[in-house]
Structure 1
Amino acid sequence: MKNSLIFFLSFILLFFYNCSSTPNENPILEEETPEELYFPPINSNSWETKTIAELGWNESQLLPLLDFLEEKNTKSFMILHNGKIVVEAYMNGHTATDSWYWASAGKTLTSTLTGIAQDEGLLNINNKVSDYLGTGWTSAPLEKENLITCKHLLSMNSGLDDSLGESVEPQDLQYLADAGTRWAYDNVYVKLQDVIAKASNSTYDSYFNTKLKDRIGMSGLWTNLGDLRVYFSNTRSMARFGLLISANGKWNDTQIVSESFLNEATNASQNINEAYGYLWWLNGKSSYHLPQSQLEFPGELIPNAPQDMFAALGKNDQKIYVVPSKKLVVIRMGDVADEENFALSSFDNELWGEINNLIN
């Protein structure tokens, strides 16, 4: 009887305790609303920012990162997170309004414009180049020239001899191997600019300005430097382009280039160099090739960088890194960090070591 009474009283107390508990004592955690991707205004220099503290990054590592960059001949550096500026720094006499060359990082501009032209039905990257430029644009035998598609130019596997310099005149574009059987980093990709001009019945620069540059608020211009066509702009313009790509080709609610094309562009475009898409370099692959080499190197392109990172890499360390998993776009412009290079360098891995100290 005593035990029954104790049990009954305990039940009564528990009942009243539960009834008196307020809902807030054991709240159900609600998921935070994801932050929308931010795009800076097109006709304005304003650009929203967020702090390192907001992101929970290691603030004590910012100064060492900036010191490292300055010592490595950097002129400008930016980190965007979800479109907003977290770090923006200018050094070694460079300012926010100064222009600098993209070098081969600008290849990705041509890749993107090729995608836009295909989206508009003006060309098909699987068509042969001679469909647009006519035959005789190379010195290769006709049956070999007709093997070369626009996709081969995007993928750097045209089979043309890459040892003859940067000229893309017919006499300097000679057959070496069948298209698709050999990967070689070469200036012949620039013939895509002629393809776009022909297909759009315009000039390449005019089509570029109308369909890409003006639509995302970039500044800058294409400049002929000998046999090379190089893009020059300020740092924020490079960041705008990186942001467009990180947003899967959209700018606000406008699809500038299709997501399906960018998916192809930022994945392996052929099976010879796994770390190369449509003029984009890809991290996280099991091996890679380098410019001016037929050697295959085992391992990832940039071991310190996130595996899903892809990049526009230009001579003497011009960089656009896009990291979808971390919502990051990273920009570096400047003089060569260490030794002259055509794209990848040891600086990439060193820089990502410093960035990791900040963001992890």
Structure 2
Amino acid sequence: MQRGATLDKRLGLRIGIILAVVVALGLLLVYQVFLARKPLPAGDFPTQGWRSSTPEEQGIDSDKLAGALAAIQGDGVHIHSLMMVRNGKAIVDAYYYPYDGSRVHDVASVTKSVMTTLIGIAADQGKLDLDQPALSFFPGRTIANRDDLKERITVRHLVSMSSGLY
């Protein structure tokens, strides 16, 4: 019984480390891909809320955007809300009945899809090497129980939701 509890504890710790690294990489990637390229004007990033703009002012065709929204509804896709931000300004902020933006939603694993998409874009643009060791993103940090197995975990392992601990 003791051995099983120890294995469960080690597995939980490994999963926790993997999730923490994925979140950290995601935040770094979002910054590198979207924010570092072109600084947003002062005051555009939300504090109490997003500044808004028309789609055209941000280089988006509102007729095509409206068509895409109609297609989503026409296909019977059940969405609660949709927000699109371009250049630091909200160009779409829509809620679908009975939702009105007054309650928090659990997005669960949606974050994984967003993060792996952003990581794929960065890799495609040559900004990120999928075979780079994950720990290399944390220079100067003390990593608990650091060993050869942890040293071999790569971005590719994290993106594919595999531990790399073999």
TM-score bin, normalised by smaller chain: 0.3 to 0.5
Whichever structure has more helix as a proportion of its residues is: 2
Whichever structure has more strand as a proportion of its residues is: 1
Larger-gyration structure (1/2): 1
What's the TM-score once normalised by structure 2's chain length? 0.45
What's the TM-score once normalised by structure 1's chain length? 0.23
